[in-house]
Amino acid sequence: MATRTQRLARPKPNRLRFPDRRSVYWLDELPPETTGSTTETELTPRWSELCRSKKFCTQATISPVWEVSEWALRAVASSRLCSLAQPRAPAAGWQPDRPLLAPLNRATQTSVPTSRICQLAQPKRRPAQEGHKSKPVPVTHIPCKASAHIELLATPKRDHPKFEGERSVCRLVSRAARSYVASQRVLELSSPKERKALFEGYDPYVVSRAARSASPSPRIQQLCLPLPRKCSSN
């Protein structure tokens, strides 16, 4: 029996020695050549049965006139059948349909409409549209007199007693405004703000006067000393 080392030492088989490979899988030998033109299929009994054409019914149609048997002619209906054969009665409050054109009585034909009914019978007045003139609608009622409160609300508001009206567009400039001299602060505020670059005019080596006259605190002097463990005894 070959050991693991001997089996791994064997060369791998050449899978590309069959140039005309007709299958997508690797084959050790060529597939057998087919001699027939098509594949022969054997039908099962169920398939043969389904392939047959359906049989149509050739029985003659029955006549609509049925013959009533002798027992049916001599049958006597029970009380239950007689009650079911009766037509269904309408509801207790049912009334027959009214005719479309109901006849009018004498009082309706000779009635005279009141002024209020004539007023409600007039069509509503619509606002006139552009390019279309509406016909004037006759008004039969007389407008009622407006109350004192409505007349007070309809009166436009008056101007305030101290109202002087709108100012003129061309106003005169006073003599004091024309002879005024701006102060140095006003001139300073009226001048535009100077914009400089980020490091324009900046000197990193210049030491300020406050830094030169500063004296360190005891804590800063303590932090400036080296650590004792790093100091040598020599």
The type of residue at 135 is K
In a domain, 2, yes or no: yes
Interval 33-43 mean pLDDT: 70
In a domain, 216, yes or no: no
DSSP string spanning 120-151?
Answer: HHSPPPPPPPTT-PPPPPP--SPPPPPPHHHH
The type of residue at 89 is A
Q: Indicate whether 19 pLDDT > 80.
A: no
Closest CA to 29 of 13, 49, 5, 51: 13
Q: What are the residues whose beta carbons fall under 8 Å from the beta carbon of 125, sequence distance 6 or more?
A: 134, 137
CA distance 30 to 19: 10
Give the chain's mean pLDDT.
Answer: 80
Inter-residue contact 141 to 126 (CB < 8 Å):
no
Of all helices (H) and strands (E), which one includes residue 140? none
Inter-residue contact 140 to 115 (CB < 8 Å):
yes
In a domain, 11, yes or no: yes
Structure tokens at 57: 């019914």
The domain total for the chain is: 1
Q: What percent of the chain has pLDDT over 70?
A: 77
For the segment 42-69, what is each residue's pLDDT rounded down to a tens digit?
A: 888 898 888 888 777 666 677 778 888 8
Q: What are the residues whose beta carbons fall under 8 Å from the beta carbon of 146, sequence distance 6 or more?
A: 154
In a domain, 37, yes or no: no
In a domain, 74, yes or no: no
CA distance 207 to 225: 24
CA distance 213 to 208: 9
Q: Which domain holds residue 23?
A: 1-29
CA distance 181 to 12: 108
pLDDT at position 87 is 92
Three-class DSSP category at 22: coil
In a domain, 85, yes or no: no
Q: Indicate whether 234 pLDDT > 80.
A: no
State if pTM tops 0.75.
no
pLDDT at position 193 is 84
Q: Indicate whether 132 pLDDT > 80.
A: no
Q: Indicate whether 137 pLDDT > 70.
A: no
Of all helices (H) and strands (E), which one includes residue 42? none
pLDDT at position 220 is 92
In a domain, 104, yes or no: no
- The separation between the first and the last C-alpha atoms of the chain, rounded to the nearest angstrom, is 82
Interval 164-175 mean pLDDT: 85
In a domain, 118, yes or no: no
Residue 197 sits at φ, ψ, to 5 deg, of: -70, 175
CA distance 118 to 141: 9
